[in-house]
Amino acid sequence: MLDYESRFRTEVIEDFADAYLRGETPIPCVRCNETVKFRDLLATARDHRRRGAGDGSLCAAHPGPHGPELHRAADPERDQSYFLFATTRAQLDFLRFPMGGLRKAETRALAARFALPVAAKPDSQDICFVPSGSYARLVEKLRPGALSPGEIVPSRRQRSRPA
C-alpha cells in the first residue's frame, strides 16, 4: 500500500495555508498535480516498471509534432485541462486520461453499470481537503493567529500613481 498522506499535507495543504499568508490565491489542485500526483506517484509507477498511469482528470493527451500535447476534454462543461498546465511532456507521455473523451452523463452511466459508489455522488466544486468551503477556518487552524486584523497597505504600483 502506498501512503502519500504526509507528502500531500506538506506539499499541498501546508503550501495552501502559506500561500494565503503571503497574500496569494493558491490553486491546490495544480500544486497536487505538480508534486504528489505527477511527480511522486508517477515515479513510483516507473519504479514498479509500469508503462503508463491512468488518471481520472477530464482532459486528453494527443501526439503532437514536438511530443504529447494536452487537450481539452470532450465535455466543455467538465474540462479540467487548465489544472494540468504545468504537466510536462514526459509526464503526458506516461499518463492516460480515459475519461477525457466522455461526457458527464456517459461517465455516470458507466459508473452505474459497474455499480461504483461514485455513480450518484454529487459534483464537487470545493477543494478536496476543504469540503466545507471555509478556507479561512483551515488557514486559522494550521496557522493560529493568521486571521488577526492587519493594516491594509497599497501595492507599490498604487503608491506611485499620481493623485
The residues annotated as belonging to the active site are: 32, 128
**Do 111 and 118 meet the contact criterion of CB atoms below 8 Å apart?**
yes
Strand partners, 68: 63
Residue 54 C-alpha cell reads as 491512468
CB 35 within 8 A of CB 7: yes
For residues 75 and 104, the answer to whether their CB atoms sit within 8 Å is yes
DSSP 8-state class, residue 59: E
* Beta carbons within 8 Å of 91's beta carbon, 6+ residues apart: 38, 42
